[in-house]
């Protein structure tokens, strides 16, 4: 296919979404080893930590140290997650290469995860965005529970599109649509993408799926068919949100890479090294990971 090969960029979220809720406890040095192993797999963009309350998410309490320990000579863009002004200031101090702000599309999850209504999360973004712009740091935002809220139920795509429009006005360059609890289907993935594009036409879209109810890879395929070319994934398929009941991991990076590359897309990631990294993760986390490729291996061999 040569020059015509379509490129899909994968944002690795294992060191943040992956580790924030895993029963295994990695030391700061083990987190840094995870990050450098991912770099060796070809990862160019990754969520490397989270600047939230350490009481809310103890596993991310050492994100400041993680950012201090990063190899800044590499070309990797390290993203810091934040959802309030204190977190934004901490992420700027940590010299994050990009800040990903968390908007919330559901009332129930918003209350438990960040003590904000959807509109309060948009207002917080509008307050914080100028700080990030002044610091010259690229700003993105992920709309969590964009396909369903574990406490309030169905989420109206109009609410998601309205949050996206407000984020666009705040100068956000890229919006992630997050299926935090894994309830999206390929058909509503298309519908939500279309709706968001109508109301926030100038932002780039990234899709974030959790494989909680078996539709994760199908949703990735639907997003790619809808023209999306940035997908979040976590090595091993580890992860989940501590404030979502029965949460499970993101779609696994190696599973997404396998599916896309077998279909002729280019990801720039090394499948063999990703599988090795998932197996290394099992040893440091002390439990098996959920990805299919770490068990079955690629094809053809």
A 10 A CB-CB count for 76 gives 21
Q: Which is nearer to Zn ion, 17 or 22 (CB)?
A: 17
| Range 220-249, binding ligand COA (CB under 6 A) | 241, 243
Region for 95 from its dihedrals, namely left if φ exceeds 0, alpha if ψ lies in -120 to 50, beta otherwise: left
Question: How is residue 50 written in tokens?
Answer: 């989270």
Q: Which of 68, 86, 287, 295 binds ligand COA (CB under 6 A)?
A: 86
Q: Least Å distance between CB 208 and Zn ion? A: 6
- Cβ atoms of residues 12 and 268 within 8 Å: no
What is the rounded distance in angstroms from the CA atom of residue 1 to the CA atom of residue 301? 21
What is the x/- site pattern for ligand COA, positions 186-225, by CB under 6 A? ----------------------------------------
**By CB under 6 A, is residue 66 in contact with ligand COA?**
no
Q: Find out whether the peptide bond into 300 is cis, omega within 30 degrees of 0.
A: yes
Q: Which of 113, 168, 250, 267 binds ligand COA (CB under 6 A)?
A: 113
- Interface segment toward ligand COA; rule CB under 6 A; list 108-116, 150-158, 230-238, 264-272: 108-116
Q: Which of 12, 17, 149, 254 binds Zn ion (CB under 5 A)?
A: 17
What is the x/- site pattern for Zn ion, positions 267-296, by CB under 5 A? ------------------------------
Residue among 267, 239, 233, 266 nearest 252 (CA)? 233
Q: Which is nearer to Zn ion, 17 or 211 (CB)?
A: 17
Place of tokens 């429009």: 165
What is the rounded distance in angstroms from the CA atom of residue 43 to the CA atom of residue 235? 11
**By CB under 5 A, is residue 211 in contact with Zn ion?**
no
Q: What is the DSSP string of 132-197?
A: HHHTT--EEEEEETTT-BTTTB---HHHHHHHHHHHHHTT-SEEEEEETTS---HHHHHHHHHHHH
| Range 32-61, binding ligand COA (CB under 6 A) | 50-57
**By CB under 6 A, is residue 100 in contact with ligand COA?**
no
Provide the binding-site residues for Zn ion, judged by CB under 5 A: 17
Provide the binding-site residues for ligand COA, judged by CB under 6 A: 20, 50-57, 83-84, 86-87, 90, 102, 113-115, 144, 241, 243
């Amino acid at each position: 296919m040569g020059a015509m090969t379509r490129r899909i960029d994968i944002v690795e979220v294992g060191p943040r979404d992956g580790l924030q809720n895993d029963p295994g406890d990695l030391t700061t040095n083990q987190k840094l080893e995870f990050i450098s192993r991912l770099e060796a797999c070809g990862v160019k963009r990754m969520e490397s930590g989270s600047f939230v309350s350490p009481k809310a998410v103890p596993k991310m309490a050492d994100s400041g140290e993680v950012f201090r320990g990063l190899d800044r000579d590499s070309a990797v863009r390290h993203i810091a997650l934040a959802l309030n002004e204190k977190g934004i200031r901490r992420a700027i101090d940590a010299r994050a290469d990009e800040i990903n702000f968390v908007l919330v599309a559901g009332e129930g999850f918003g209350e438990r995860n960040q003590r904000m209504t959807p509109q309060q999360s948009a207002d917080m973004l509008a307050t914080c965005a100028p700080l990030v712009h002044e610091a010259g740091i690229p700003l993105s935002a992920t709309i969590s529970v964009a396909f369903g809220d574990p406490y309030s139920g169905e989420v109206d795509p109009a609410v998601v599109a309205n949050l996206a429009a407000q984020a666009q006005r705040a100068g956000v360059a890229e919006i992630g649509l997050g299926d935090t609890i894994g309830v999206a289907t390929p058909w509503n993935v298309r519908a939500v993408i279309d709706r968001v594009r109508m109301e926030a036409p100038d932002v780039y879209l990234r899709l974030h799926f959790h494989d909680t109810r078996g539709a994760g890879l199908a949703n990735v395929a639907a997003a790619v068919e809808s023209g999306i070319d940035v997908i979040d994934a976590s090595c091993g398929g580890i992860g989940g949100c501590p404030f979502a009941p029965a949460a499970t991991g993101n779609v696994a990076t190696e599973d997404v890479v396998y599916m896309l590359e077998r279909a002729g897309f280019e990801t720039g990631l090394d499948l063999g090294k990703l599988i090795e990294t998932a197996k290394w993760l099992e040893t440091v986390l002390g439990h098996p990971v959920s990805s299919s490729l770490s068990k079955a291996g690629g094809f053809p061999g």
